[in-house]
Amino acid sequence: MRQRSFIVVAIAVAVLIIGAVAVYAYDKTRDDVIAKGVKAGGVDLSGMHPSEARDTLNRQLAAALKKPVIVKYGDDKFRLGARRAKISVDVDRMVNEALDRSREGNMLTRTTRAITGGSVHANIPVELSYSKKAVNDFAEGVGRIVDQDARDASISFAGGQVVKVDSQNGRKVDTGQLDRRIEGDLTEATSDHKVQAPVEVVKAKVTTSELAQKYPRVIAVNRGAFQLTLYDHLKVVRTYPIAVGQVGLETPAGRYNIQDKQVNPSWHVPNSAWAGSLAGQVIPPGPSNPLQARWMGIYNGAGIHGTTDVGSLGSAASHGCIRMAIPDVVDLFDRVEVGDPVFIS
């Protein structure tokens, strides 16, 4: 009886040993086989050997990840290639990690899982590297091309009159957000690698509708027509006949501002040949002073003033100043302020 029990135990032990050896041998045959359910970057590697897994990942994953990223804005397209972005996909590391996950557990659990068709359910993350500096430089380059400064509304002088120059909104690429969008596409194999540039509207500081408020008073001098026109909030309110500088002493063209205002001004005679013996003198208000009633200085000794020589109006007769009839210059003087723009053409 005792001998029979020993034989039974011996047989059982032998069976266990044989089974263990068989399990071990089977498990060893699967050392380089990726378990069912193991994916890498979303690519199913179930049952593959390392070389096959590497080929599969290079074909289905790495090739897709190395496609150029195309940034679009309107009709413009900007291309960031894999070489410039320094994209590298570490397929070997992903395959090694897939094998490591396949070998988790002990040989009995692994063998049982393989025989019964069980799965590991693991998805190895993409092992990808790229140059953040290259992406940032690319995004800033897109910005330099797409960005456009806003243009404030302004006024200019053309055809003898003041004209409005409309405002125009600008645009600016949000390079930080563009960076993030590009990086998101670089690391996503299923992405189409097409990115819309995030562009913000830059508002003009002065819009066309605000222009009249910014320029409540403007003086426009048309030398050829011998006219001075006053604009109130960019609407013509008065036009006056004037005299301008004679040949060789022309009234200077350009944009100026009223620099000072004086009632019954003294005349500081320039040290010029045309002034003769009066050069350098100061002539007080009175009949011998050509600057009658009012003075509005605009540029380097030139200005707008009244005159008793009304016969000179409508001609080029002054030494550079703008002459007006006395009632007209008094009227204009009371309507304008220091700093108001003066256009002379």
pLDDT(234) > 90? yes
Output the pLDDT for position 30: 54
What pLDDT band is residue 47 in, cutting at 50, 70 and 90? confident
Q: Which residues of 22-53 are buried (b: 16+ CB within 10 A; e: fewer)?
A: ebeeebeebeebbbbbbbbbebebbebebeeb
Residue 94 and residue 41: Cα distance in Å, rounded?
A: 9
Alpha carbon distances (Å) from 117 to 37, 44, 105, 166, 302? 10, 15, 16, 74, 100
The residues near 73 (Cβ < 8 Å, ≥ 6 apart) are 142, 146, 173, 196, 197, 199
Per-residue pLDDT tens digits for 76-113: 999 999 999 999 999 999 999 998 888 886 665 656 66
> Given a cut of 70, is residue 275 above it in pLDDT?
no
pLDDT above 90 (res 237): yes
Q: What are the residue ranges spanned by the domains of the chain?
A: 215-344
Q: What are phi and psi of 126, to 5 degrees?
A: -70, 130
Q: How far apart are CA 46 and CA 52, in angstroms?
A: 11
The residue annotated as part of the active site, out of 49, 233, 268, 321, is: 321
- Catalytic residue from among 121, 268, 305, 319: 305
The model carries a pTM of 0.66
The answer on pLDDT for 166 being more than 60 is yes
Region 117-131: mean pLDDT is: 85
Contact 170, 117 (CB under 8 A): no
Q: Which CATH superfamily is domain 215-344 in?
A: L,D-transpeptidase catalytic domain-like (2.40.440.10)
By the 10 Å C-beta count (0-12 exposed, 13-18 middle, 19+ buried), 4 is classed as exposed
- Selection from 219, 265, 266, 274 nearest residue 246 by Cα: 274
Other C-beta atoms within 10 Å of 288: how many?
Answer: 9
% of the chain exceeding 90 in pLDDT = 64
Per-residue pLDDT band at 120 (split at 50, 70, 90): confident
Please say if 233 is a catalytic residue. Answer: no
Confirm whether 321 is a catalytic residue. yes
Q: Say what the pLDDT of residue 327 is.
A: 97
Tell me, what's the pLDDT at 23? 46
- Averaged pLDDT of the chain: 87
Q: Which of 26-35, 54-63, 176-185, 201-210 has the lowest mean pLDDT?
A: 26-35
